Each structure stands twice: as C-alpha cells, then as structure tokens.
Structure 1
Amino acid sequence: MEEPEMQLKVKKVTDKFTESMYVLANEPSVALYRLQEHVRRSLPELAQHKSDMQSWEEQSQGAIYTVEYACSAIKNMTDSSVYFKSIDGLLKQAIAMKDRLNAAQGRSSAAPQATSPPASS
C-alpha cells in the first residue's frame, strides 16, 4: 500500500521538478520574447523622435548661424563708426572749402564790375 502512495508522491515531486526546470529553462526565452515585442512596438516611435530631433537640430543650427552673423554685422558696424566719423569730418572740410571757393569766386567776379568805368550815354 505504501508503494503506490510512494509512487504517487514521487510522480508529483518529479512533475513539479520537471515543471520548475521547464519554467527555468524557458524564462530567458520568454524574457527575450517580451523584449523583442517591446522593441517592435516602441522602435517606430523612437525613430520618429530621432528624426524630429535631427530636424530641430538643423533648424537650431540655422538660427544660431543667423544670429551669429547678425551679431558679427552689428559688431562690424560698431567698429566702423570710426570710419564714419572720419568721413563726416572730411565732408565738413569739403563743404567748408567749397563755401570758401564760392565766396572767393563771388568776390572776384564782383570786383571787376565795381572797377569798370561807367558807360557814357
């Protein structure tokens, strides 16, 4: 009587042991399957995010270049104020010289009329 009972207990133990071994042997496969499933679901979205980020990076780089170029232009304009002041001074000198020439010409053309003899009638 003990032998069939013992065989039943041994069968239960071996079945549980076999089941445990089966689960342990297949657990990595199940884990890898779950990982693969997760990657397949999330990869397209991640690829889209990567593409969006690259596009934003390109736009940002373009904006940064534009701002740097504008800053450089403003700095060059500030640096060129010395040249504009020089040009302003030269223009003022030229205007003053032209005024003196016009005044000298006006005096020289007015002088002969004053010294010419009056016409007799």
Structure 2
Amino acid sequence: MDDQEMQLKVRRVSDKFTESMYVLANEPSVALYRLQEHVRRSLPELVQHKTDMQSWEEQSQGAIYSVEYACSAVKSMTNSSLYFKSIDGLLRQAISMKEQISASQGRRRRTTDTQKEGAEKHNARM
C-alpha cells in the first residue's frame, strides 16, 4: 500500500502542478483578451469625450479672448478720462462761441433792418 499510496500522492501533486502551470500559461492571454475587450467597448466613448473637450476648449479660448479684449477696452477708457474732460471743455467753448456769433449776427440783423427801415423812410420822403 505504501507504493500505491505514494503513487496516488505523486499523481495528485503532478496534477496540481500541471493545472497550476496551465493556469499560469493562459492567465496573461485571458488578461490581454479582457483588456482588449474593455478597450473596444470604452474607446468610442473616450474619443467622443475628447472631441467634446476640444470643442469646449476652443469655445472657452474664444470667450477668454473676448473678455480680455473687453477688459483692455474698459481700461483704456478709464485712462482716457483726461481726454474726455478736454473734449468737454472744448465743446463748452464751441457752444459759447456759437452763442456769441449768433448774438452778434442778431445785432447785425437788427442794425441792418433798422438801416433798411431808415433808408425806406428816407426814400419815401423824397
């Protein structure tokens, strides 16, 4: 019995060893198959996310450019308050001069009208 028992134990050990070697030999293949399967399923979705992100990035860059441009325009407007004050002063001077010109033209018309009336009276007497 010792011989048979020993053969049985040897056979069990060799079977377990063979089974372990089989699993170890096939495990990388199964892992690679599962990995490939996962990539095939998830890759289209990942590609879609990438294109969406690129589109959002382009839109964001455009918005950032617009905001920066608007900020620089506002800053330049605040720096130009001196020019606006100067323009305001010049416009006030122009309005004042226009009023003076209008007033002097009004006096001339009155003088001209008075002279015309005097000439008409003078001509009527004659």
Fold match (TM-score > 0.5): yes
1:20 aligns with 2:20: yes
* Mapping for residues 42-57 of structure 1, pairs under 5 Å: 42-57=42-57
1:109 Cα offset (Å): 4.9
Q: Which amino acid aligns with 2:91?
A: L
**Residue matched to 1:40:** 40
Q: Distance in 2 between matches of 1:31 and 1:109?
A: 107
Q: Distance in 1 between matches of 2:47 and 2:98?
A: 73
Q: Which amino acid aligns with 2:98?
A: K
Aligned-pair RMSD on alpha carbons? 2.4
List runs of 5+ in structure 1 lacking aligned partners.
Answer: none
* Mapping for residues 1-121 of structure 1, pairs under 5 Å: 1-111=1-111, 113=114, 119=122, 120=125
| Higher helix proportion (structure 1 or 2) | 2
Q: Which amino acid aligns with 1:83?
A: Y
> Secondary structure at 1:24's aligned position in 2?
helix
Q: Deviations over 1:61-110 (max 9, x none)?
A: 11111212222222223233322221121111112122223333434454
Q: Distance in 1 between matches of 2:97 and 2:19?
A: 112
TM-score, scaled to structure 2: 0.76
Q: Distance in 2 between matches of 1:111 and 1:9?
A: 143
Q: Could you tell which deviates more after superposition, 45-54 or 67-76?
A: 67-76
Percent identity between the two aligned chains = 73
Q: Which amino acid aligns with 1:26?
A: N
Q: Which amino acid aligns with 1:94?
A: A
1:53 Cα offset (Å): 0.8
Q: Which amino acid aligns with 1:46?
A: L
List runs of 5+ in structure 2 lacking aligned partners.
Answer: none
Q: Could you tell which deviates more after superposition, 75-84 or 53-62?
A: 75-84
Q: Deviations over 1:28-65 (max 9, x none)?
A: 22222222221221111111111111111111111111
